[in-house]
Structure 1
């Protein structure tokens, strides 16, 4: 982060707001001409500050009305079992994220489903059958107050 100057931070901030911004608009936004802007952008990508570009889709428009935080616990903490669990969840699209955490749970998942019945079926038929899973607790989101947004650049 110390390698970033004011213009680099401005580039990253602008792209977090609009990842489809053209190079010309981006250059104008940060006060550069197009060639130096493109060069800086390429460096930021190559240095790993920008991992990828993607579209943010609407859960509502896609009919995914249930958003749950799922706390998964293991009875036995075996490295091979944990590795199998982590590999298998990679292939389940409705699991948006998975974090190995400290505390009473071993993992916290973010999961989407069409409705409560769909969520219940997923829990019964998929999640509870994953390697190592002995207990599952869900917290359903009632309302999103703040969505994942731009990373702080200060």
Structure 2
């Protein structure tokens, strides 16, 4: 575990909001020189605190108006490996995340679709045919109030 000071936390919060910020811009915001800020970002990256940068796409602007969270209980534990299920689920283009969880379901899957008929097609033709898929429960996302922030 890496020891973080308040400046490190400020840098992480700023990069969480906009991962494209340069070391120079971050330094100006937090009273550091560009090289000092760059060294901090490099240290955070080398320690594994920063593991990459990603682009967040607007699903609705791209025509994906429906997000559904699925709870999937495997029907044939033991006959199908978890890795096989995860690989097959991750290969579906509409699947955003595949999470192995404890509780009522074995997996939580986030799926995007253009509309409800499109989701039904994905569910019937892709999700329900996954190796080992058993019971599936769907929850349609009505709104997203808060995006996850830094720890």
Q: TM-score, normalised by structure 2?
A: 0.93
Matched with 2:116 is 116
Please show how residues 74-89 of structure 1 align to structure 2 within 5 Å: 74-78=74-78, 80-89=80-89
Q: What is the root-mean-square deviation of aligned Cα atoms in Å?
A: 1.5
Please show how residues 56-71 of structure 1 align to structure 2 within 5 Å: 56-71=56-71
Question: Residue 75 of structure 2 contacts residue 133 of structure 2 at CA under 8 Å; is this kept in 1?
Answer: yes
Q: Which one is further off, 65-74 or 80-89?
A: 80-89
Matched with 1:14 is 14
Runs (4 or more) in structure 1 with deviation over 4 Å come to none
Gaps of 5+ in 2: none
Please show how residues 1-154 of structure 1 align to structure 2 within 5 Å: 3-78=3-78, 80-146=80-146, 148-152=147-151
The separation in 2 between residues aligned to 1:87 and 1:114, in whole angstroms, is 23
Deviation per CA, 1:28-85: give whole Å up to 9, x if none. 1121111111111111111111111122111110010110010101123227522100
Gaps of 5+ in 1: none
Q: TM-score, normalised by structure 1?
A: 0.91
The separation in 2 between residues aligned to 1:45 and 1:2, in whole angstroms, is 11
Q: Secondary structure at the match of 1:67?
A: strand
Deviation per CA, 1:111-134: give whole Å up to 9, x if none. 100011110111111111111101
Per-residue deviation, 1:93: 2.6
